[in-house]
Structure 1
Amino acid sequence: MSEIAPVPALDAHLGFWLRMVSNAVSQSFARALEGEGVTVAEWVFLRTLYGAEPAPPSRVAETLGMTRGAITKLADRLIDKGLTARRADPEDGRAQLLSLTPRARRLVPRLAALADANDGAFFASLKPSERAQLERLLKRIVASRGITEIPAT
């Protein structure tokens, strides 16, 4: 019988705890958004366009770290829901621009309030100074690892 090498328990890794919290926060927010008929990816897309000038799909894809194909699919879903509009770029008739509809501009602040409430519920056990410290530490990790992709799922 061969010996089994000792390995640490799953919960001995900081990544385990980050993932546990991240999954719970994300799943809770996804359920809240579902009540508004929007997915997390759609929320990220809408928030990206909120308050911005109409943008070509390529710029939205670059901003979100997604492929142009993925952005096109997201835009199509949001167009079907009446939340996004697509029109020809007046400066280049071959190019398209994406923008929010008036309905989406009214919806985004409600969705942002859901995000705030979700964060508040999950991080209420932290003192304000602890929450600020956690945010600083996470941002430091993001910067040191060169992470630029916006989480959209």
Structure 2
Amino acid sequence: MSLTPDDSPGFLLWRTTLRWQRAVTAALEPFDLTHVQFVLLACAWWLNRQGGRPNQLSVARQAGTDVKMASQVLRKLEDKGLLVRETDPADTRAKLLRVTERGRELIERAVTEVERTDAAFFAAAPDRPSLVSTLRALAEEERR
């Protein structure tokens, strides 16, 4: 039996991911955010909304990104005035993150646009709850 690319879940996921990333990148362009900047700012914002002062490590873990790369991107977000990185008094090596008012306003608008983009992109999925459940299970494998 010979498999074609259209029979390979990995290849299909790759192509789907590229299409989705292009759509999200286009949606984020008016906000002057890259996709990774959006994800890290959204994670920091979400963790702030939960009442916490996350550090760079917890935001990187939440996003599933490399800590060193996250640190560089978070520094860029700080340069843009979207968040503040402050030394953690309990651990001077760690940086606590607080999304600024400007960052909050921007990320709330960007999240709305990305959610709209997601809804349009995944509208073709015949059983969205099943798709979300499958993606959640696959994403959780990484955390184990």
Fold-level similarity (TM above 0.5): yes
Moved over 6 A (4+): none
Q: Which has the larger radius of gyration?
A: 1
Deviation at 1:65, TM superposition (A): 3.4
Structure 1 SS opposite 2:143? coil
Q: Normalised by the size of structure 1, how large is the TM-score?
A: 0.78
Give the equivalent residue in structure 2 for 1:70. 69
Q: Does 1:137 align with 2:134?
A: yes
Question: Helix, strand or coil: the match of 1:87?
Answer: strand
C-alpha displacement of 1:91 = 4.1
Q: CA RMSD, aligned part only?
A: 2.3
5+ residue gaps in structure 2? Answer: none
Contact 2:56 2:94 in 1 (8 A): no
Task: Determine which structure has the larger helix proportion and give its number.
Answer: 2
Structure 1 residues 8 and 72, CA gap change in structure 2 (3 angstroms) = same
Extract unaligned runs of 5+ from structure 1: 1-5
Q: Distance in 2 between matches of 1:24 and 1:65?
A: 20
* Count of residues in Structure 1 that have an aligned counterpart in Structure 2: 140
Deviations 1:96-150 (A, max 9, x none): 31211110111111111111111121122345xx11122223333444xx2239x
